[in-house]
């Protein structure tokens, strides 16, 4: 069966590799995207990997995923901490969504400890650097099997 997993990336993730590598690692988003596409093939699905700095675009992509994706991985970046719109968009779709973060948001500044998106998703993976994406892809495979 041909499945597609959307991997959606929010604001400032286009700056990976340059932005605070001590926190976010040295890999670029393009490198992470390549790793995700390779892992997706191994797991038996296509990965549609995207990034935007615009909240409304993420909302539109979540709506699109409802018709075109078997699962969604989202690294909402700072929008996770501020966006009720993303929370509502996740709740509005039937496609399962997994939230992920490169850093352990619970070990950082207090304002990062809570995300508005977390209550709307199936699960959250954080703190494993770029491997957070690969772990989330494994989880997506499990969710797809359960469908």
138 has pLDDT over 90? yes
26 has pLDDT over 80? no
Quickly tell me which residue has 């957070």 as its tokens.
Answer: 132
Mean pLDDT over all residues of the chain?
A: 90
Residue-range definition of the domain harbouring residue 121: 3-146
Binned at pLDDT 50, 70 and 90, residue 80 comes out as: confident
> Rounded to two decimals, what is the model's pTM?
0.92
Q: How many domains does the chain have?
A: 1
125 has pLDDT over 50? yes
pLDDT for 143 equals 94
DSSP letter (8 states) at residue 129: T
Instruction: Please report, for the domain that includes residue 18, its CATH number.
Output: 3.40.50.9100
What value does the mean pLDDT take over residues 59-77? 97
> How far is the C-alpha of 87 from the C-alpha of 60, rounded, in Å?
13
Bridging pattern class, strands 3-9 and 71-75? parallel
39 has pLDDT over 90? yes
Residue 106 falls in the annotated catalytic set? no
1 has pLDDT over 60? no
> How far is the C-alpha of 38 from the C-alpha of 137, rounded, in Å?
11
Quickly tell me which residue has 């039937």 as its tokens.
Answer: 94
Which is catalytic among the residues 3, 24, 79, 133? 24
Which is catalytic among the residues 3, 79, 87, 101? 101
What value does the mean pLDDT take over residues 65-74? 97
The answer to whether the Cα torsion of 4, 139, 145, 90 is positive or negative is: negative
| Phi, psi of 4, rounded to the nearest 5 degrees | -120, 135
pLDDT for 103 equals 78
Residue 133 falls in the annotated catalytic set? no
pLDDT for 37 equals 98
């Amino acid at each position: 069966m041909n499945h597609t997993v959307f991997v959606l990336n929010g604001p400032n993730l286009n700056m990976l590799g340059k932005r605070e590598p001590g926190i976010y690692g040295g890999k670029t988003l393009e490198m992470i995207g390549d790793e995700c596409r390779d892992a997706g093939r191994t797991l038996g699905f296509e990965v549609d990997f995207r990034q935007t700095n615009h909240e409304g675009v993420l909302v539109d992509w979540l709506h699109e995923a409802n018709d075109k994706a078997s699962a969604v991985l989202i690294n909402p970046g700072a929008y996770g901490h501020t966006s009720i719109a993303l929370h509502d968009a996740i709740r509005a779709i039937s496609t399962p969504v997994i939230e992920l973060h490169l850093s352990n948001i619970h070990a950082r500044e207090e304002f990062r400890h809570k995300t508005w998106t977390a209550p709307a998703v199936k699960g959250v993976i954080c703190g494993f650097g770029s491997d957070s994406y690969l772990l989330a892809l494994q989880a997506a495979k499990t969710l797809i099997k359960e469908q």
